[in-house]
Structure 1
Amino acid sequence: MELRHLRYFVAVAESLSFTGAAERLGVSQPPLSQQIRDLEAELGTPLLWRTSRSVALTPAGTAFLTRARRLLAEVEEACAEARAVGAGRSGTLDIGLTGSILAGPLGRLIRRFGERYPAVLVRLHEMPPGEQQAALHAHRTDLCFLRRPPDDPSLRVVRAWPEPVGVALPAEHRLAGRAAIALSDLRDEPFVSLRLRDSRFATHLRDACLSAGFVPQIVQQVVESASLVNLVAAGLGVALVPDSIGALPRPDVAYRPLAGPAPAADVCALYRAPASAVTENFLGLMRDELGRTAA
């Protein structure tokens, strides 16, 4: 039994006419009649009473019509769902990220994506940068966002949005009165930093200090940028932080831009190739909303 047998039978049952059903289906009447006879032979019971002038459903035909309609509706629903998933209009999108990334435009981007693709479930997975790379390879996530992506030729990298780096100081710090602070002005300051073994971004900031002519005196290392701000507020040191973190209001912490050559905190999107249709749709929206910054 094939789907065409069900479609042909439903057309005849609803038309109660082989001629009308043939016109509706766009087929000639003899093959249609043969398909119905083949179906009845397979089922072992007649579905239609035929006379020279009329067609009527047998009791078996009436029962079969209900199930045939339901089956065809389920097939159509399955086809529509497959088309939606294939086009990225339905499905799931798993995103790996660190908490500090949400301080930037990503939250707004996810909301806009939900408005455009309401049938896609977006799931966020907060994890350290190193775990994000492993999650992509294990297909636990589809996309992740990092400030300093790893050198991994099997992953595609797109710069999602640019972001400068500033300095967070205790509100009463001697440098807090300046409009901008040069990196070299921090050579004698204690630093609180993201954990170097986990964060390529932290290594990038340390290297920027080395390029400015000094080795930063790192007194504390933490996992999350929010913890950096708390340590700065406690007076344990200064911290180099992305602008999105500095934009969060905190009366006991002063944020100042870096003057002169300064490291960047640009955020990159990483994904496997080939990307799923859902991932491609998210990246397309990202380019629309934030501008195409890389390929």
Structure 2
Amino acid sequence: MRELSLDHLRTLVAIADLGSLANAARALHLAAPTVTVQIADLESRLGGQLLVRGRGPVQATALGERFIVRARRLLADADDAVEDVRRQLAGKTGRVRVGASTGAIAHLLPPALERLARDHPGIDVNVQVLTSNDSMARLAAGSLDLAVVALPQAAVRGVHVTALRREAVVAFLPASWKAPKRLSPQWLADRPLIMNDASTRLYRLTAEWFSAAGLHCRPRIELNYNDAIRTLVAAGYGAALLPDESHDPARDPRIIVRPLSPALWRQLGLAVSEAGASGTTRTVMEALLPGSHS
């Protein structure tokens, strides 16, 4: 059987509700012959009579009564689907896939997720732990909508990057170490180091900081999980260069933090897939961007 037309179903329901083809035509702003043709076409497609036309109100046949019940459901489902799309385009509902490092997930995303849960409860944010390189690749492939990435990033077709925030990189040391108030590359190069793995932007940023002083850093271990790195620092295993998260209320007393000299900064950005930049994705972006909320 050929596909059913929603317009034809809407006309059928209007006739059932209003009692005549003429009343349905006026309500739907259609010419009377158009209504007649639509019902005839619908009955032809179904292979059975749906309405009995005679004197007085139009009556549905037994077949028509059963079909009209289904038609109402189909029209309601179609209206719901259209409304759902409209709400997504307006940024009120939908699912957004977000990639970020463990550090960003632990310290940057929670306030934004709290605001979204309060102001936009219809938005479902799916967070994935990814490096910046992985996030950019998935954005380009269309399997991710939004990501917090370390800058700079090489241009990727179909992905737009906006600056988000700048964070100071500081040294996390075992509290048992005797350290000056500011730490130089020379001082740190003589100590055991715990670093992010070589695939991360933070590793390259740190290596460049040592290289500018004519030094080559040799990490004792590489990890891509900042909380695990801090645990090893607290155990006295080595020093780590990580973004300063001074707002963290759970800082371990076995760790001391020192600024670097020269200063080292990490720039973060928001990367978004142009193909997936729907209203819902924009709503999540606004929750993450500084100055876009009170």
Q: Same fold (TM over 0.5)?
A: yes
- After superposition, what is the alpha-carbon deviation per residue over 1:74-107, rounded to whole angstroms, capped at 9, x for unaligned? 2212222333344444332222222122232222
Residue equivalent to 1:9 = 12
Query: TM (normalized to structure 1)?
Result: 0.83
Residue equivalent to 2:139 = 136
Matched, 1:20 2:47: no
- 1:147-166 matched pairs, under 5 angstroms: 147-154=150-157, 155-166=159-170
Residue equivalent to 1:267 = 268
Q: Letter of the aligned partner of 2:39 in structure 1? A: I
Q: Give 1:14 shift.
A: 0.9
Q: Secondary structure at the match of 1:79?
A: helix
Q: In structure 1, how many angstroms separate the alpha carbons of the residues matched to 2:288 and 2:36?
A: 55
Contact kept, 8 Å, 1:246 with 1:255, in 2: the verdict is no
Matched, 1:53 2:56: yes
Q: Letter of the aligned partner of 1:32 in structure 2? A: V
Residue equivalent to 1:76 = 79
Q: In structure 1, how many angstroms separate the alpha carbons of the residues matched to 2:57 and 2:219?
A: 92
Stretch moving more, 187-196 or 65-74: 187-196
Stretch moving more, 150-159 or 93-102: 150-159
Q: Give 1:245 shift.
A: 7.0
Q: In structure 2, how many angstroms separate the alpha carbons of the residues matched to 1:272 and 1:6?
A: 38
Identity %: 27
Query: TM (normalized to structure 2)?
Result: 0.83
Matched, 1:250 2:248: no
Matched, 1:90 2:89: no
Residue equivalent to 2:42 = 39
Residue equivalent to 2:148 = 145
Q: Secondary structure at the match of 1:46?
A: coil
Matched, 1:186 2:183: no
Q: Give 1:12 shift.
A: 1.0
Matched, 1:208 2:212: no
Q: Letter of the aligned partner of 1:252 in structure 2? A: R
Provide closer, same or farther for how the CA distance between residues 230 and 95 of structure 1 changes in structure 2, counting only shifts above 3 A: same
Q: Give 1:10 shift.
A: 0.9
- 1:215-226 matched pairs, under 5 angstroms: 215-216=216-217, 218-226=219-227
C-alpha root-mean-square deviation of aligned residues, in Å?
Answer: 2.7
Q: In structure 1, how many angstroms separate the alpha carbons of the residues matched to 2:197 and 2:55?
A: 88
Residue equivalent to 2:112 = 109
Q: In structure 1, how many angstroms separate the alpha carbons of the residues matched to 2:57 and 2:222?
A: 87
Of 279, 282, 285, the match for 2:281: 279
- After superposition, what is the alpha-carbon deviation per residue over 1:186-245, rounded to whole angstroms, capped at 9, x for unaligned? 255414232452222112112223334544453333232223222322223322211117
- After superposition, what is the alpha-carbon deviation per residue over 1:162-186, rounded to whole angstroms, capped at 9, x for unaligned? 21112211113212xx6x4143572
Contact kept, 8 Å, 1:136 with 1:143, in 2: the verdict is yes
Provide closer, same or farther for how the CA distance between residues 273 and 17 of structure 1 changes in structure 2, counting only shifts above 3 A: closer
- After superposition, what is the alpha-carbon deviation per residue over 1:97-120, rounded to whole angstroms, capped at 9, x for unaligned? 221222322221123233333333
Q: Give 1:49 shift.
A: 2.6
Q: In structure 2, how many angstroms separate the alpha carbons of the residues matched to 1:205 and 1:222?
A: 14
Stretch moving more, 114-123 or 96-105: 114-123
Contact kept, 8 Å, 2:140 with 2:156, in 1: the verdict is no
- After superposition, what is the alpha-carbon deviation per residue over 1:120-172, rounded to whole angstroms, capped at 9, x for unaligned? 32222213444333333333322222334532332322222221112211113
Matched, 1:230 2:234: no
Q: In structure 2, how many angstroms separate the alpha carbons of the residues matched to 1:286 and 1:225?
A: 21
Provide closer, same or farther for how the CA distance between residues 96 and 204 of structure 1 changes in structure 2, counting only shifts above 3 A: same
Residue equivalent to 2:172 = 168
For structure 1, the 5+ residue unaligned runs are: none
Q: Give 1:3 shift.
A: 1.9
Contact kept, 8 Å, 1:187 with 1:215, in 2: the verdict is no
Contact kept, 8 Å, 2:186 with 2:215, in 1: the verdict is no
Q: Secondary structure at the match of 2:252?
A: coil
